[in-house]
Amino acid sequence: MTNFTVRTDKRTEFVKITSLVAKCLSKSSVQEGIAVVFCPHTTAGITINENADPHVLSDMVMKTSELIEHRDPRYQHGEGNSDSHLKSTLTGASETVIIKEGRLQLGTWQGIYLAEFDGPRTRCVYVKIIKG
Amino acid sequence: MTNFTVRTDKRTEFVKITSLVAKCLSKSSVQEGIAVVFCPHTTAGITINENADPHVLSDMVMKTSELIEHRDPRYQHGEGNSDSHLKSTLTGASETVIIKEGRLQLGTWQGIYLAEFDGPRTRCVYVKIIKG
Amino acid sequence: MTNFTVRTDKRTEFVKITSLVAKCLSKSSVQEGIAVVFCPHTTAGITINENADPHVLSDMVMKTSELIEHRDPRYQHGEGNSDSHLKSTLTGASETVIIKEGRLQLGTWQGIYLAEFDGPRTRCVYVKIIKG
């Protein structure tokens, strides 16, 4: 298993980590298999989405924040980030990408993202390459 | 890695692909392991849900479309499908199914679906079988 | 593949299964690889989230139930649990956890949960350990 850290700048944002995952793959020299990208935090997640227009990401931030609002007087958790925990569960803690001929098999428009829901923070990402 | 294509007919729909994934498994002759089903598109996803009553799927389409509306004047992405991108992230780009005795270990009522959120289109699905 | 059952007590709740998954790993004697935790039901799912403050879980239950309401006269599925199916798709049927030195590589605050959306019921969970 390898890992790397990511610095986030906002409370909610999507930070592209495709090249960092690709570097982990490259170091492993595995040609065929899968890469599991895992986020060990409970107020962030891993997702795969648009790698070109940054407006897709800002629209997703806007809509997610509207759907699950930050402040709700009924929340009982004392840290004020219950919304972040729910967004983490809806996004998911990991993504699995197929490896072929030594490369991540992403679609043309796909990038891998750390989804930050309670930043800014320094986050860790685990990557495990399975040969097969 | 193998792949197949799926034709979708509506803007939002769930298209059953269980038998197409089972065919990929069958060709591999793998008896024990996992199957990673991956969608290389940013406005679609892979999910596992009810394989019997089509009303479950139409209810999910109705509710998802209501939660994350297609049109919102605040969306900045110019293609008019920001909702599709967010639905893709919430559904997830992949699912992993366990293989035992050469068969996908799905529950009685589970089917594997391509979740289309910006159709109609021709979509591609990647399948990777890992022996283990 | 191994499996275990979980008894749920409420319609919607998150039941911690980390130690049950760890037991499956322990029996396998695998030191390096991944663990796929899979839910073979269409009105439940698997998620990873906060393992300490139970208010995080009750806040997630409250907000999820508000977002996707149980009763909606437009639902056509006759069993009255269309909301449970949608929550299952948004949560996801599985999670994949990395194994290192014989241990699940979860973050400090992470636990693995069966997410029940149509209980109380007895649920089954499949676990597959892949060495690699």
CA-CA distance, C70 to C5, in Å (whole number)?
25
Please report which confidence band the pLDDT of residue B55 belongs to, taking 50, 70 and 90 as the band edges.
very high
pLDDT, position B27: 97
Q: Which two tokens stand for residue C108?
A: 């400090």
For residues C98-115, average pLDDT:
98
Amino acid at B101: E
Percent of chain A topping pLDDT 90: 100
Interchain pair A1, C50: CB under 8 A = no
pLDDT, position A22: 98
Q: Which two tokens stand for residue A76?
A: 């009982």
For B23-89, give the DSSP string.
Answer: HHHHHHT--SEEEEEE---SSEEEEEEESS-HHHHHHHHHHHHHHS-S--TT---TTS-HHHHHHHH
Q: Which two tokens stand for residue B39?
A: 């969608």
**Structure confidence by residue, pLDDT tens digits, A71-102:** 999 999 999 999 999 999 999 999 999 999 99
> Could you tell me if C132 lies within 8 Å of chain A, comparing CB atoms?
yes
CATH 3.30.365.10 for the A2-71+79-131 domain, yes or no: no
> Could you tell me if B38 lies within 8 Å of chain A, comparing CB atoms?
yes
The DSSP letter of residue C49 is E
**Structure confidence by residue, pLDDT tens digits, B57-79:** 999 999 999 999 999 999 999 99
For residues C48-64, average pLDDT:
97
Mean pLDDT of chain B: 97
Of C82, C90, C131, the CB nearest to B59: C82
A32, A20, A47: which is closest to A103 by C-alpha? A32
Phi and psi (nearest 5°) for A59?
-65, -40
A 82-111 → B contacts, CB under 8 A? 90-92, 95-98, 100, 105-110
> Could you tell me if B132 lies within 8 Å of chain A, comparing CB atoms?
yes
Mean pLDDT of chain A: 97
Where does residue B14 rank: exposed (0-12), middle (13-18), buried (19+ CB within 10 A)?
Answer: buried
Cα of C119 to nearest chain B Cα, Å: 16
The β-bridge partners of B122 are B7
Contact at 8 Å (CB) between B37 and B112?
yes
Phi-psi category of residue B110: left, alpha or beta, with phi > 0 → left and psi -120 to 50 → alpha: beta
> Could you tell me if B63 lies within 8 Å of chain A, comparing CB atoms?
no
| Cβ within 8 Å of residue B19, ≥6 positions away | none
For residues C67-93, average pLDDT:
97
pLDDT, position C43: 98
Distances (CA, A) of A71 to A8, A74, C37, C49: 21, 9, 33, 20
Please name the helix (run of DSSP H) or strand (run of DSSP E) that holds residue A75, with its range, or none: none
pLDDT, position A123: 98
Residues of B in contact with C89 (CB under 8 A): 47-49, 60, 91, 115
Which chain C residue lies closest to B130 (C-alpha atoms)? Answer: C130
Which chain C residue lies closest to A69 (C-alpha atoms)? Answer: C63
Mean pLDDT of chain C: 97
Give me the helices (H) in C75-115, please.
82-91
Phi and psi (nearest 5°) for A18?
-55, -50
pLDDT, position A71: 94
Give me the helices (H) in chain C, please.
18-28, 54-67, 82-91
Amino acid at A130: I
pLDDT, position A70: 97
Contact at 8 Å (CB) between C7 and C120?
yes
> Could you tell me if B54 lies within 8 Å of chain C, comparing CB atoms?
no
pLDDT, position C4: 98
Percent of chain A topping pLDDT 70: 100
pLDDT, position C33: 98
> Could you tell me if B122 lies within 8 Å of chain A, comparing CB atoms?
no
